[in-house]
């Protein structure tokens, strides 16, 4: 594993999309979804950067079993290092056709508290937004990245708002939970529509299999939620015991590429491959 450098990259400029994976509350599986989708895109030959913007509960370092990291995303945002020094190249580990780079957030209590304090500082957040926008352009224009995927904090965190503002494709992830659906509705209307002027798309994750007995059930669920929330549903992913039992120990799609969960994530990746 090594940090990113410009010279050894093989740019593919057919696609340049920044995607945020967001949710109203925690526990929707967005980090697992983000990481597995990023891997699938890299396996298909796209150059992918996955960034952990969940500063309240960073988990990607545990999912990727990274124990020694020189620079965190926290360091980049505090201007203690450059963006390329944060990105860890995992292409060889996962044997991907495209570049697979990940930027990790510091999971220590001290770092989480520091980022919580910064969330209240409007001047700091404005500077970070400009840094994120500049970083987005740098990755697309100089590093040949095709997809940037931001795994964000749930709810109304300013770090998530910054990532959403930088996104071409904002994605919300929900579970079939009444409180989650109601909260997501208010998040869409109050933040995405009124404040940000962004139209997110929706992924419904961990749906009980009893609700998805046949193709008509998928269509009915998609129609009902789309009508209720006023946005397009781009993916419905059943709840699988095998995925739950994995407990984030590894990227599920790598070890079980033929599993229905992996196929669901693959179809989600195809949605972004076909997008403008």
Q: What is the pLDDT of residues 102-158, one digit of tens each?
A: 999 999 999 999 988 887 788 888 999 999 999 999 999 989 999 999 999 999 888
Overall number of domains in the chain: 1
Which is nearest to 9 in space by CA: 41, 40, 42?
A: 42
Domain assignment present for residue 3? The answer is no
**Contact in structure between 155 and 121 (CB atoms under 8 Å):** no
Domain assignment present for residue 22? The answer is yes
Domain that holds residue 245: 14-274
Domain assignment present for residue 87? The answer is yes
Q: Is the pLDDT score of 8 beyond 90?
A: no
At 6, is the pLDDT very low, low, confident or very high (cuts 50, 70, 90)? very low
At 4, is the pLDDT very low, low, confident or very high (cuts 50, 70, 90)? low
Which is nearest to 59 in space by CA: 98, 15, 28?
A: 28
- Residue 209 CA to residue 168 CA, distance in Å, equals 32
Q: Is the pLDDT score of 100 beyond 70?
A: yes
Q: Is the pLDDT score of 275 beyond 80?
A: no
pLDDT at 147: 97
Which is nearest to 90 in space by CA: 73, 74, 80, 104?
A: 104
Domain assignment present for residue 202? The answer is yes
Q: Is 39 exposed, middle or buried (0-12, 13-18, 19+ CB in 10 A)?
A: buried
Domain assignment present for residue 8? The answer is no
pLDDT at 7: 41
- Residue 55 CA to residue 272 CA, distance in Å, equals 25
Which is nearest to 37 in space by CA: 71, 29, 188?
A: 29
- Give the residue, 231 or 5, on which the prediction is more confident: 231
CATH of the domain at 98: 3.40.50.300
Domain assignment present for residue 6? The answer is no
Q: Is the pLDDT score of 76 beyond 50?
A: yes
- Residue range 157-204, pLDDT digits in tens: 888 899 999 999 999 999 999 999 999 999 999 999 988 999 999 999
At 3, is the pLDDT very low, low, confident or very high (cuts 50, 70, 90)? low
Compute the CA torsion angle 161, 165, 170, 173 (nearest 10 deg).
0
């Amino acid at each position: 594993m090594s940090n990113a450098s410009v010279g050894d990259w093989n740019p593919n400029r057919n696609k340049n999309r920044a995607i945020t994976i967001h949710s109203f509350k925690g526990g929707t599986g967005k980090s697992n979804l983000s990481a597995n989708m990023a891997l699938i895109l890299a396996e298909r030959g796209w150059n992918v950067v996955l960034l952990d913007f969940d500063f309240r509960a960073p988990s990607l370092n545990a999912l990727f079993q990274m124990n020694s990291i020189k620079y965190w995303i926290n360091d980049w945002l505090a201007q203690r290092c450059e963006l390329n020094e944060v990105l860890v190249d995992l292409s060889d580990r996962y044997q991907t056709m495209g570049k697979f780079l990940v930027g990790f957030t510091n999971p220590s209590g001290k770092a989480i508290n520091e980022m919580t304090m910064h969330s209240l500082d409007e001047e700091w957040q404005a500077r970070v937004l400009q840094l994120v926008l500049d970083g987005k352009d740098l990755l697309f224009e100089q590093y040949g990245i095709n997809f940037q995927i931001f795994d964000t904090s749930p709810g109304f965190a300013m770090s998530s708002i910054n990532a959403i503002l930088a996104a071409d494709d904002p994605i919300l992830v929900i579970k079939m939970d009444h409180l989650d659906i109601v909260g997501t509705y208010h998040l869409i209307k109050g933040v995405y529509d009124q404040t940000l002027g962004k139209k997110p798309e929706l992924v419904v994750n961990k749906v009980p299999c009893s609700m998805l007995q046949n193709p008509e059930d998928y269509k009915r669920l998609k129609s009902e939620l789309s009508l209720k929330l006023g946005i397009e549903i781009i993916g419905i992913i059943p709840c699988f015991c095998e995925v739950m039992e994995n407990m984030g120990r590894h990227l599920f799609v790598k070890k079980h590429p033929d599993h229905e969960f992996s196929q669901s994530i693959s179809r989600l990746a195809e949605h972004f491959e076909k997008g403008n």
